[in-house]
Structure 1
Amino acid sequence: MKVFSSLLIFLGILAIGSTDGDEEFANYNVTNRKYPDGFKFGVATAAYQIEGAWNLDGKGEQIWDTFFHEHPERSNDGTNGDVATDSYHLYKEDIRCMKEVGVDYYRLSIAWSRLLPDGTIDNVNKNAKNYYTSLFEELRANGIEVMVTLYHWDLPTALEKQGGWLNPQVVDWFTDYATLCYHLYGTYVKDWVTINEPKQICHVGYGDGGYAPGVRSPGVGEYTCARHILLAHAKAWRVFDTQYRPTLKSRNTIVVDSDWYEPATSADEEAAETKLQFVHGMYMHPIVFGNWPQIMIDNVAKFSQVQGFNESRLPAFSNEEIELIKGTFDFIAINHYTTYMVKARSQPSYAVSWVADSGVDSYQKDTWETAAIGWFKKVPWGFGKLLRWLRKTYGDLEIVVTENGVSDRDGSLQDQHRIEYIKNYMSHLIDAIHDGVRVTSYTLWSIIDNFEWTQGFNGKLGIYFVNQSDPNLPRIAKDSSRYYANVIKTKCLLDQCVDN
């Protein structure tokens, strides 16, 4: 009998260890707790996705212009961002929507090739200088704070022709551009983001070639890109820190996106941690601690040797570079949308790629609800787990959620699915806050339906519908805009909440 009891206990431990979020949160109820006092709410966009005016008023060509002009079939619906939502001319309409919702701040990006048509400070576009000044003035007049992303994937084509993010000179090109922006717009900006989502830039832009500039260099170019991204960020951050912070009193960071990676069983916990280090840690670990995660260093060196390379495909940082990169952030900025399950590989893959170097397999469950964008599954409990992992991994640091949202294809004004997504994801965020995670802001993507990269206009993530068939491109409120407005007003996700 004692042996049987011990076996039951052992099996119970196994069951607890292998429980994933689906089981853990099967009976989950949206919290009735309020957001804490001082919590801020915003919305976000990116220049290429909304501005349009791709060749007006002196703007130079950038890699997404080139990417779609050369191959229109690269977007899901054959469209491009030449006009997008024409926010270059209609930015006051966008701000009207933000004012209507009551957001505290707006996260937007400056188009590098609009301000510097050939990418260098030798040629500054006066029209662009005036455009962004007018935009910032309008935001200020409406009481909306500004968070500016300097680089949201749109490298000037003139620089890409010289190697782009694979050319070590890009570190200085970017630093010069960032310094100009600090100088021109520093008095308007509360928070700066140097670079948005280096994972997408390097692994999709210079790894598998699915995004602009469409370079295919898996396992080699994508690591070179990552190295230059980190150095460019660090150098631009140091300029800000020494030359501009003392007078501007603003802050600066980088945005690193990450899905949550849930172990399929208790035996896969190490695999899940490895995947998190390859996805998020690859960029945040150097910025916090100074160097690549050790598991990356070890894995890439091991696979490189087996594959016949003379040295690791992961380029090393010098001691001087480690000191340059370490500590170049004022808060952790995270973009999050979905979750994956992770299993350890029974047999290693010797393909030369960043994905293979992690040595694990990831997948999404068929039972999870899919958003309009195919890879995008709605898994709200993963959000809370990721936020807790950030605190556990990097310490008690401030976290700002710089993107979160959900897509559909029809842009329905009765978008209850979006309301449910926002409600459930934000509920898990509030739970994380009450568990001690220091999240101070939430940024919804996006204020308006916009051009969603290779999805074209098929991926609609806005809380305002933009009618692409109407030449006036009117912005029309969806139900989700009213829901988000009420959350901001009441600091509550439900009709009634309890005080904290």
Structure 2
Amino acid sequence: MLTRTVTLSFLLCTVCGKNLTFPAGFKFGAATSAYQIEGGWNSDGKGVNVWDVFVHHHPEMTADHSSGDVACDSYNLWEEDVRIATELGLDFYRFSISWSRILPTGLSNRVNEAGVKYYNNLIDSLLDRGIEPIITLFDFDLPKKIQDLGGWTNPLIADWFANYARIVFTLYADRVRTWITINEPATICDFAYNTGTVPPRVHDPYVAPYLCNKHVLVAHAKAWRIYDEQFKPLYGGRVSIANNLMWMEAKTKDQESLAELTRQNMVGRYSHPIYSATGGWPPGLEALLAENSKKEGYKKSRLPAFTEQELALVKGSYDFYAFNYYSSRLVRQTRPGESSGVWFLDGAPELKVKLDVDRNWPMGAFKDLPVVRVH
């Protein structure tokens, strides 16, 4: 059963026997995801999302057959959330908005006023307690209607997401200054389609992750441009996308180029088009995919090209670099019969790499994520 808790990740305060202090201006906060805490899955006009469908039709896919139908019941107990955040002394609280709670079909034809009120109450209460609200527009819970139309593999999703973003900015940008458009796109695209074990339950590591990747970037960029042109002049806020990453270190010196390609695959595909001076895909990975696609008989690369207009749209669509950092891995070439050892490469045909863990790394509470500092 899901329990009502707030989890914080703190940095280690002692390294090599030395006491460290946080710099002036460092902010502590907590982050949550709508599906994981809100509950109220069909309350007050909320539409159905892909996780609602997934857990109802496939309860065996969760460890204890639980669901997010009630979860922490934050839809009804949001005042308790704010009380806990205040008690913890948080500087900020980052939460995601349920797309289908604001737009029940995912499309902009109908706005659910009860959903609008829920987030208004939460934002105002946080501000009253001196806690900065930070909003994530999308955190895995795609409206069912949008998924029925192809989800992140349909290029039209960029416009649907942009319409949703404009509505949310209009509702809350007067009080919210920091925004994340899309959380952990590598999980949305690579984990989902490489494994097929989570919504939309499609297993296709060859084509789907790369379509999803491009459309996520275009959707993010369209939302960023809307804010930059229409709302930043009024409110002066900032917007970006939040990547998730592991640091990939070569296990031996002769694996350096392989480690770089692995970094490009997990981080570069979601960062280079936005943050680089040239835009577009990471060149090394783009060349590898083009070569592999040709060998496999495809007429074009499975990594879809950006048009000149799309390249310009995506490049520079950021106000800061945001990432969720979990752990590190050592990269080497796979041996016959080996799998990669990590979800974002499992089933992916491009890189025949094995990701190892150093036995000397301390293990955290989650066995797959050893505690490793970034060098």
Identify whether the pair has TM-score above 0.5, normalized to the shorter chain: yes
Once the two structures are TM-superposed, the CA of residue 364 in structure 1 deviates from its matched residue by 2.5
Gaps of 5+ in 2: 1-13
Query: Which residue pairs with 2:143 in the alignment?
Result: 156
Are residue 211 (structure 1) and residue 198 (structure 2) matched? yes
Query: Which residue pairs with 1:284 in the alignment?
Result: 271
Are residue 200 (structure 1) and residue 187 (structure 2) matched? yes
The 5 Å alignment of 1:239-388 reads 239-289=226-276, 290-345=279-334, 355-366=348-359, 368-375=361-368, 377-381=369-373, 384-385=374-375
Once the two structures are TM-superposed, the CA of residue 31 in structure 1 deviates from its matched residue by 4.2
Q: What is the one-letter code of the residue matched to 1:317?
A: F
Secondary structure, counterpart of 1:54 in structure 2: coil
TM-superposition CA deviations, 1:189-220 (whole Å, max 9, x none): 12010000000001122332122111111120
Structure-1 separation of matches of 2:67 and 2:137: 22
The percent of aligned pairs where both chains have the same amino acid is: 42
TM-score (norm 2): 0.90
Structure-1 separation of matches of 2:197 and 2:264: 23
Query: Which residue pairs with 1:467 in the alignment?
Result: none
Structure-1 separation of matches of 2:41 and 2:257: 46
- Kept after mapping to 2: 8 A contact 1:219/1:353: no
Report how many residues are paired.
355
Secondary structure, counterpart of 2:29 in structure 1: strand
Structure-2 separation of matches of 1:39 and 1:112: 31
Structure-2 separation of matches of 1:42 and 1:28: 22
Once the two structures are TM-superposed, the CA of residue 148 in structure 1 deviates from its matched residue by 0.4
Once the two structures are TM-superposed, the CA of residue 371 in structure 1 deviates from its matched residue by 4.2
Change in CA separation of 1:353 and 1:33 when aligned onto 2, cut-off 3 Å: closer
Gaps of 5+ in 1: 1-26, 386-500
Once the two structures are TM-superposed, the CA of residue 361 in structure 1 deviates from its matched residue by 2.2
Q: What is the one-letter code of the residue matched to 1:250?
A: G
Query: Which residue pairs with 2:22 in the alignment?
Result: 35
- Kept after mapping to 2: 8 A contact 1:103/1:144: yes
Secondary structure, counterpart of 2:348 in structure 1: helix
Structure-1 separation of matches of 2:191 and 2:92: 29
Structure-1 separation of matches of 2:182 and 2:309: 22
Change in CA separation of 1:208 and 1:132 when aligned onto 2, cut-off 3 Å: same
Structure-1 separation of matches of 2:337 and 2:213: 24
- Kept after mapping to 2: 8 A contact 1:348/1:359: no
Q: Which has the higher contact order (CA 8 A, sep 6+)?
A: 1
Are residue 122 (structure 1) and residue 115 (structure 2) matched? no
Change in CA separation of 1:30 and 1:231 when aligned onto 2, cut-off 3 Å: farther
TM-score (norm 1): 0.68
Change in CA separation of 1:233 and 1:30 when aligned onto 2, cut-off 3 Å: farther
Structure-2 separation of matches of 1:67 and 1:372: 27
Q: What is the one-letter code of the residue matched to 2:219?
A: A
TM-superposition CA deviations, 1:316-341 (whole Å, max 9, x none): 00111111000011110010112111
Q: What is the one-letter code of the residue matched to 2:158?
A: V
Moved more, 97-106 or 325-334: 97-106
User: How large is the RMSD of aligned CA atoms in angstroms?
Assistant: 2.1
TM-superposition CA deviations, 1:133-168 (whole Å, max 9, x none): 000011011100011000001110011111111111
Query: Which residue pairs with 1:453 in the alignment?
Result: none
Secondary structure, counterpart of 1:253 in structure 2: strand
The 5 Å alignment of 1:369-448 reads 369-375=362-368, 377-381=369-373, 384-385=374-375
Query: Which residue pairs with 1:444 in the alignment?
Result: none
Change in CA separation of 1:105 and 1:168 when aligned onto 2, cut-off 3 Å: same
1:77 aligns with one of 54, 64, 67: 64
Structure-1 separation of matches of 2:136 and 2:335: 41
Secondary structure, counterpart of 1:80 in structure 2: coil
Structure-1 separation of matches of 2:337 and 2:258: 13
TM-superposition CA deviations, 1:411-469 (whole Å, max 9, x none): xxxxxxxxxxxxxxxxxxxxxxxxxxxxxxxxxxxxxxxxxxxxxxxxxxxxxxxxxxx
Structure-1 separation of matches of 2:104 and 2:53: 14
Once the two structures are TM-superposed, the CA of residue 255 in structure 1 deviates from its matched residue by 0.2
- Kept after mapping to 1: 8 A contact 2:39/2:72: yes
Are residue 169 (structure 1) and residue 156 (structure 2) matched? yes
- Kept after mapping to 1: 8 A contact 2:74/2:81: yes
Structure-1 separation of matches of 2:234 and 2:264: 36
Once the two structures are TM-superposed, the CA of residue 345 in structure 1 deviates from its matched residue by 4.7
- Kept after mapping to 1: 8 A contact 2:158/2:216: yes
Secondary structure, counterpart of 1:40 in structure 2: coil
The 5 Å alignment of 1:454-493 reads none
Change in CA separation of 1:137 and 1:28 when aligned onto 2, cut-off 3 Å: closer
- Kept after mapping to 2: 8 A contact 1:202/1:225: yes
TM-superposition CA deviations, 1:160-188 (whole Å, max 9, x none): 11111111110110000000000000112
Change in CA separation of 1:186 and 1:120 when aligned onto 2, cut-off 3 Å: same
Once the two structures are TM-superposed, the CA of residue 254 in structure 1 deviates from its matched residue by 0.2
